[in-house]
Structure 1
Amino acid sequence: MAEVILFDAAGKILEVLGSLVAKEIGLASGVKDEIRQLIDTVRTVKDILHDAEEQHSKKNEEVAVWLQRLKDALYDADDLLDDYYTEFQQLREAMNRNTLAKEVRIFFSKSNQIAFSISMAHKIKAIKKKLEAVFNARPIYLVEQLPDKNRVENVERETHSFVHADKVFWRDEDKNNVIRLLLDSDGRENVLVISIFGLGGLGKTTLAQLVYNDQNIINHFKLRMWVCVCEDFNLKIIMEKIIKSATRKEIEKLEIDQLQECLRKEINGKKYLLVLDDIWNENPGMWDKLKNLLVNGARGSKILVTTRSEKIAKITSKFSSYVYPLRDLDENKSWSLFLQIAFEHGIEPKDSKLVTFAREIVAKCGGVPLVRITIGHLLYGNNNRDHWLHFRDNKMTSIIKNESDILPVLKLSYDHLPLHLKQCFVYCALFPKGYKIEKQKLVYLWMAQGFLQASNENRCLEDVGHKYFMNLLSRSFFQDPEYDKLDNVVACKMHDLIHDLAQSIAGFECIVATLDTTNRFDKRCRHVSLHSTVDSSWKFQTVVHGVTHVRTLLLFESNAFLELDGDFEFSSSSMSLRALDFGELEFKKLPRSIDKLKPLRYLNISYNGYIVALPNSMSRLWNLETLDLSNYLELKELPRDIRKLVNLRHLTNEECDFLVGMPYGLGLLTNLRTLWNLETLLQMRYPEMERLAYALLITSRKLRPYFPAHTIHVMTNYPLRQVLQKPEALVFACNLVRINVLSCSHRLVPIL
């Protein structure tokens, strides 16, 4: 994961530095010069990361050590620049509001600008010096390379068409279903495409082999061809492979035009079956170029595609009825497969205790045949109880992570991800196995870490996060999607093996801990999740004990009451936190130093039945984007200066039924996209303009994740004509396409 994080960190640093140069508040010319020099240094570092990634993937220890030093330096630079950028933005915001507060006037005094510029110049120079020192200490064989977003680590993989059908009994039902599709006489097109998609290791290639060698298929198709496509979707190479499979002969070196003539000649008028195994190409144009060369077969010809990506399956198969998702094996088939591999003659042993151990091991394997086969081979021939018990309790996880047949197969899917999706996927290692991951929460966490990359400034980051999520789902990194009433995906899970993959890639970057391991963190970790029930003796400080610059802290399954004493302080190691989730932990009051977490973007302190009022000091969390107060059962007051949280996008106050009011000026939060509790707000004695603005914000929340262009439904009986005519009211409706006003007895005039 190191090279992915480094590339992203370098990109974010360049973005911030560019903004600092463009926005000249308080920047002396000397500071701009230092920033421009730092930009050049970071760009040079970024260019060499591609070669470093390749060397690191080859287990080059020297490069790994160097990457770690570079990562630490880039993280330090990111933290410092984030701090400065925050200060700049706060001051610009104050100027935009024509604020004449004493501290603003002091800052913009000539003497203070000079002092600030000198301090900043020294800091930036120190960053540049540190980066240059690390860069100059790199292994001499690392060279600069131009970025190639489509580059994938070269892993040799070749498949063939043969299989012992009598030994693959666990996919009989799937085999019959696919054969039925292949023999279907649908006449909509001469050549139809059936696609099989699913997680690596499920047996897609094996299923295709079973179908390819079935006697009914042999009798039905005059010509059968098998081609393993793999990573490189090169039209010329694929044509050569198809011709070679059709003729069973080596072909001469031909130009691409000669190849297409030869290919079309071989399949012309013949009812053929072509298996294209292991496709990774997501470019519809590339697929169409190949498909157009294959359409002159006889009516009833079929192409069978296997892929790990649902997106590719839908690109290749025009009709949804010909897209076949391959699922995990059920419990009975999983057990039958394991018996076949692990025990002599596939017969269940008479030792009931051994059978119990075996079933527990099978349950840990999930429904992926490759895992069962690998584990079964490792255990075959040893029926000693103690050996099986030791394997179940101690060796199972390490075998799955280190055995050459398992994770490398799954990692192919990871290798094909673009950089921005790689870090989003690996971050999911923080969630417990089997945990239902809410899409909205995950997107907000990604956003807090700066993982979401909008193609233009008008693109909503939440929409970008939704796209990332659905992309990972379509590539089988997520499974078991949960839908709402509008058929939108709202949650999912990760397969245990995919979770193992994420953890193996994350390494010490993402630490999954329990209470008894909090004192054994790797000091270099950046993201921490705690999966334990806590009690009154638990100390928050122990979670990040010895860890410097942690950026994420998530608590799961806490479900406890915790009384933090008045002297509690966040340690210096917490000052880089971007995301903090107390996981339904109940406590009487918030840590008084919470306002010192200046970089904090995500804060979840939901499910609390004790706190009545939030401290006004929270208004100093200027970078905060998400504040989750769901089920704050006794909460009556929000911070009175909440209007200062100008970056706040999501204020989730669902089930906060005792709120007596909202602080005045909430309408100044023009980035706000989520706000609950419409009834409470409409009862407040504010001008109609703000009432309408609040109503728009609240009701748009439910539609925002699904529609980039809003249609808002407002239920209110207030006189709205004069309100809607005020331009200030439209600040909140800049993305609206239509407003439907329900239950309103006053005549409206069209003004939008």
Structure 2
Amino acid sequence: MAESFPSTIAANILTEIDFLTSSDSGLSSRIRKEIMKAKEILFKGKAVLMKAEAQQLHNCELQDGLEKLSELLYDAEDLLDELKCEVLAKQVGKLNIVKYNLKIKVTRKILDEKIDNIRSISIAVKDPDTKLVSSGENVMTHPFVGTPQDFGRDTDEENIIKLLMKPNKEAERVSVIPIVGLGGIGKTTLAKLVYDDKRIDEHFKLKMWVSVPEDFDMIKIMKEAYTSATGKDQSELGVVELEDCLLNELADKKFLLVLDDVWNENYDRWNKLKQLFTQEANGSKIVVTTRSSQVASITGTVDSYLLEGLSPGDCMSLFVKFAFGDETDKAESEFIGIGKEIVEKCGGVPLVLKTLGALLYKNTDPEEWKLIRDSVKWEPEKDRDNILSALKLSYAHLPSHLRRCLAYCSLFPRNTCFNSDYMICNWMAHGFLKFPNENEDLEDVGLRYLKKLFSRCFFQDIEDRGYFFTFKMHNLIYDLVEKMAQRNYKTVDLRILLDDVNCRQLSFLGNARHFSFLGIANGNKKVPSISNNLRTIIMQSLQSQRVAESFVSKWISNFKCLWLLCLSGLQFKELPDSVAALKHLRFLDLSWNSDLEKLYDTICKLLRLQTLKLRGCSALKNLPRNIQKMISLRHLELTIQWERLPPIGAECFKSLQYLHLYKCKNLESLREGMESLTTIRTLILQGCDSLTTLPDNVKLLETLEKQVISSCPKLNLKMDLQGEDLILTLKVFMIYELKELEDLPQLILQGSANTLEYIRIEECHKLTELPAWLASLTALQKLEIVSCSGLSSLPPGMEKLTALRELKIQKSPPLSESCRRKPLNILNLESHLDPEVASSSRDNE
């Protein structure tokens, strides 16, 4: 059964409506009165909608009513958003007052009728038999978010390692070991334990991890294998070049390749991939994790390793860890007793144990524990149904705004490695981010939502990259979310749309507003005849593909209600002028288009645009001169042929929170206009080959919290404080591959002494010492030094860093004994001082 979330759409409308009803809007009193009447209806109806949404999983009539109401609310939101665009563009005097007044009046009356209808149906529906359903913000953050939980897999780990150490059979270049088991049983967790074992590092010269796409696309697999092997960006490599580079990495190396979550049962496709990895291999191993015994029989060269459920004792340990966190010793016997009964119904599946444990985290009502216990049923012959049913319990107890954020993730393929910044910008574009706390930006709200979903185990493989998170969704969670989201979120494979007949067959897509399109239909193919009220179009090209401007123009012209448009990876020279008609657009992704040469001033009419992604647009010469009119822009990623940052006016970029300058190879100076970035919180400089210094006016960026600088070969960061009494707010400072770096920027770092929590320095070989003033960074919690061959000691006074909790020095000369002993004996550190330990992989740019 699929869900609709009209209450969250209504909340969006109520957020915007105050502006339109104020006299400052310039709208006529007639229009403002009609909008006020609509506001009253929505305000009174919010409680009705929230109750109905909690009941909809149990009543089809209610679901249908909520879906129809959602459609009306979407249209109302578009109408009011159009009005706001006219106000922002100062076009109020040109409005057709009669037309808008009539539209609002008709919408208001229908809205009133539909909410009354929902109310009458809801009254007759029994409320969900649980107190855990919430529309608020009481989902608690769990202490073990992102922490691997490997209970009870020691024996399995040893068994797999023995198989990997065992010599291959004669004439067998590569041995393939399948790990087979039920979804959620822990196959990936086991593979990771093995992959990270030091014995594996010693036995294999090269390791690669690939999350296999469901369609077993060879190009995607090669890209991920290459990135895993080298840590290098592969986005700009062609197919032939990619294969050559990968083979060069494999040459004369005994490797371990993990292919995680394989579904392909076609022997020919598997054989083609296997041939690629056996051309140079000698004694190498491939581990395949899969739910399918058929996949195992096709791929395996040895008997499958069948992974069973956890033992009762390990099940209980895992559940208790997630249900009680660090306070297991305070758990009352009553809760432990109910917990044992819940555990007995979980079939030994870790995913279910963690999810239900996290659902009950810090819940002190025994009746609610019993409700969960009584809701879980386990029939041995229906393993997958049992698991989905248990996961659905946790899903149903999320507030609707978090379920809506989860539903959106179903637009992306299985095994997608999500980037927190990217996903939050998507959510922000659609107005999903509500309930801000005091002094909290939308980006903060998004991160808070994300951490709550982490807490409830809806995402896994969570990695803190310092200035963003990466994470994935377990396949069973994906199955559940995809099913619940199917009314509004659809994925369509354009490669099958060969003619008008197939296009007409898309009628089953109904009134969905959010679409992800796989593959690319060229300019001669028809645009699918689906609703012209789409909110989302995400083009997921399988590789960089050249398309005609007419193709882009058709899609823009057909769907003028878009709030988000992603054309990443498509190659075209000009963005059509028709983009100006997308008044509602909040998110525009044109990244990795190496043909795009110019953006015209028409793009500056997108007054609601929050996110503009132009990373990898290497032919782009300039931004439009009227860019300052884009007053809502918060997130900008840019590759451009500038030699210097142009002067930035007071009104330009006044909302900008995030700026990423990527491979701006001609950029020599950032001086002009830097002080005007008064709201900037994250600044990333990457691959700026000509940049030699940072300007002193960077000290004026009083809101800057995260600064990342990488692959700028001429950049030195010597910036003395010179007695200035600065109070900056930097929290994260990360630098990579700065060949000329000899000094750290005292101006920035010591100016942030009371806020700076994390420093990472990697591959800065000319850095021979850390400054004495480092000991004044009293808020510093984490210091990482990786692959800095010239650095062999820490400065005196490190014992003053009382907040320091983690010191990591890897692939660098060993510290002198005095430097090693003093800080580590005084401070309670989690230390990583072995220079032979492999450093963690660089951020996946």
Q: TM-score, length-normalised on structure 1?
A: 0.59
Q: Is this contact kept in 1: 2:601–2:625, CA < 8 A?
A: yes
> How far is the alpha carbon of 1:646 from its aligned partner?
0.7
1:523 aligns with 2:503: no
Letter of the structure 1 residue corresponding to residue 418 of structure 2:
I
1:651 aligns with 2:636: yes
CA contact (8 A) 1:566 1:591 kept: no
Q: Give the match's secondary structure for 2:578.
A: helix
Query: In the TM superposition, what are the counterparts of 1:94-173 in structure 2 within 5 Å?
Result: 107=92, 112=93, 118-138=98-118, 140-143=120-123, 151-152=131-132, 173=153
Q: Does 1:589 align with 2:569?
A: no
- Could you say which residue in structure 2 is the equivalent of 1:43? 43
Write the mapping of 1:118-517 to structure 2, written as runs, cut at 5 A. 118-138=98-118, 140-143=120-123, 151-152=131-132, 173=153, 207=310, 209-210=312-313, 241=334, 275=340, 277=342, 307-308=354-355, 374=381, 404-456=385-437, 458-484=439-465, 486=466, 490-515=469-494, 516=496
% same residue = 27
Which deviates more from structure 2 when the two are superposed, residues 566-575 or residues 431-440? 566-575
Q: Where do 5+ consecutive residues of structure 2 fail to align?
A: 135-149, 158-181, 190-307, 325-330, 345-351, 364-376, 686-690, 710-715, 728-845
* Deviation (angstroms), 1:750: 3.5
Q: Deviations over 1:608-656 (max 9, x none)?
A: 1212111111111111111111111111111111111111111101xx2
Are the equivalent residues in 2 in contact too, given 1:646–1:670 (CA < 8 A)?
Answer: yes
Partner of 2:532: 548
Structure-2 separation of matches of 1:607 and 1:65: 41
**Is 1:67 aligned to residue 66 of structure 2?**
yes
Given the alignment of the two structures, is residue 700 of structure 1 paired with residue 700 of structure 2, yes or no? no
Q: CA deviation at 1:26?
A: 1.5
Offset at residue 441 of structure 1 (A): 1.0
CA distance in 2, matches of 1:130, 1:408: 37
Structure 1 residue 547, shift from structure 2 partner:
2.0
Paired residue type of 1:78: E
Partners of 2:662 and 2:572 in 1: CA distance: 27
Say which SS state the counterpart of residue 492 (structure 1) adopts. strand
Show the counterpart of 1:34: 34
Q: Is the 8 A contact 2:356 2:390 kept in 1?
A: no
Decide whether the 8 Å contact of 2:646 with 2:672 is kept in 1: no
TM-superposed deviation, 1:589:
2.0
Give the SS at the match of 1:511. strand
Superposed counterparts of 1:684-723, under 5 Å: 690-693=673-676, 700-702=682-684, 716=693
2: CA distance, partners of 1:126 / 1:416: 36
- The 1:641/1:137 distance shift into structure 2, 3 A limit, reads same
| Closer/same/farther in 2, CA of residues 64 and 483 from structure 1, 3 Å limit | closer
Q: Report the residue type matching 1:514 in the other structure.
A: D
The structure where helix makes up a greater share of residues is 1
1:523 and 1:548 in contact (8 A); partners too: no
Letter in 2 for 1:652: E
SS in 2 for 1:676: strand
Kindly indicate whether the alpha-carbon contact (under 8 Å) linking 1:614 and 1:639 is maintained by their aligned counterparts in 2. Answer: yes
Paired amino acid for 1:632: C
The answer (yes or no) to whether the contact 1:529–1:553 under 8 Å persists in 2 is yes
Q: In structure 1, how many angstroms separate the alpha carbons of the residues matched to 2:121 and 2:357?
A: 40
For 1:408, what is the secondary structure of its paired residue?
A: helix
Give yes or no for contact 2:402–2:449 (8 Å, CA) kept in 1: yes
| Mapped contact 1:477–1:494 kept (Cα < 8 A) | yes
Structure 1 residue 499: Cα displacement:
1.0
Could you tell me which residue of structure 2 aligns to residue 627 of structure 1?
Answer: 612
Distance between the aligned counterparts of 1:680 and 1:29, measured in 2? Answer: 50
Q: CA deviation at 1:50?
A: 3.7
Quote the offset at 1:527 in angstroms: 0.8
Report what 1:287 is aligned to. Answer: none
Distance 1:681 1:42, change over 3 A: farther
Using the alignment, how far apart are the partners of 2:704 and 2:60 within structure 1?
51
Matched, 1:676 2:660: yes
Cα distance change, pair 681–645 in 1 and its aligned pair in 2 (3 A): farther
Q: Is contact 1:637–1:660 with CA below 8 Å preserved after alignment?
A: no
What letter matches 2:594 in structure 1?
Answer: G
Structure 1 residues 144 and 441 mapped into 2: Cα distance closer, same or farther (>3 Å)? farther
RMSD, aligned CA: 4.8
- How far off is 1:698 after superposition? 7.6
Which amino acid is the alignment partner of residue 506 of structure 1? Answer: A
Q: Contact conserved, 1:526 with 1:551, CA < 8 A, in 2?
A: yes
Counterparts of 1:620 and 1:440 in 2: how far apart (Å)? 25
| Residue identity opposite 2:626 in structure 1 | D
Return the letter of the residue paired with 2:642.
L
TM superposition shift of 1:748:
6.6
Residue 265 of structure 2 corresponds to which residue in structure 1? none
- Uncovered stretches (5+) of structure 1, i.e. residues with no partner: 92-102, 155-169, 178-197, 218-225, 232-237, 247-273, 280-304, 317-369, 378-399, 704-713, 725-729
8 A contact 2:592–2:617 mirrored in 1: yes
Whether 1:52 and 2:52 are equivalent positions in the alignment is: yes
How many residues are treated as equivalent by the alignment?
520
1:743 is matched with: 718
Secondary structure of 2:26's aligned partner: coil
- Taking the aligned partners of 2:492 and 2:541, their CA distance within structure 1 comes to 12
Over 3 Å counting, the alpha-carbon distance change for 1:16 and 1:51 in structure 2 is same
Which amino acid in structure 2 is aligned with residue 690 of structure 1?
Answer: G
Residue from 589, 596, 606 that aligns with 2:591: 606
**1 CA distance for matches of 2:69 and 2:721?**
64
Deviations 1:338-368 (A, max 9, x none): xxxxxxxxxxxxxxxxxxxxxxxxxxxxxxx
- Residue identity opposite 1:25 in structure 2: S
SS at match of 1:34: helix
Rounded to whole Å, the distance in 2 between the matches of 1:699 and 1:242 is 44
TM-score by length of 2: 0.53
User: How far apart are 1:200 and its partner, in Å?
Assistant: 6.9
Deviation at 1:67, TM superposition (A): 1.9
Measured in 2, the distance between the counterparts of 1:737 and 1:30 equals 47
1:702/1:413 Cα in 2 relative to 1: closer, same or farther (>3 Å)?
farther
Deviations 1:698-750 (A, max 9, x none): 883249xxxxxxxxxx9847575xx97xxxxx5x5356799x99534795744
Q: Is the 8 A contact 2:458 2:473 kept in 1?
A: yes
Compute the displacement of 1:513 (Å).
1.3
Counterpart of 1:672, as a letter, is L
- 8 Å contact 1:199–1:476 — kept in the other structure? no
Residues 35 and 579 of structure 1: CA distance in aligned 2, closer, same or farther (over 3 Å): same
CA contact (8 A) 1:437 1:493 kept: yes
1:219-268 per-position Cα deviation (integer Å, ceiling 9, x unaligned)? xxxxxxx99x999xxxxxx979569x69xxxxxxxxxxxxxxxxxxxxxx
* Structure whose alpha-carbon radius of gyration is higher: 1
The residue type paired with residue 513 of structure 2 is R
Measure the CA separation in 1 of the matches of 2:428 and 2:74. 17
TM-aligned CA distance change 1:512 to 1:10, over 3 Å: same
Residues 1:141 and 1:433: Cα distance change in structure 2 (over 3 Å) = closer
Measured after TM superposition, the shift of residue 412 of structure 1 is: 1.2
Amino acid at match of 1:122: L
CA contact (8 A) 2:681 2:703 kept: no
- The answer to whether the 8 A contact 2:649-2:676 is kept is no
Cα offsets for 1:669-724 (capped at 9, x unmatched): 111122233996996799x5624446x88883249xxxxxxxxxx9847575xx97
Contact 1:200/1:409 (8 A) holds in 2? no
The code of the aligned residue for 2:85 comes to T
- Separation (CA, whole Å) in 2 of partners of 1:307 and 1:150: 20
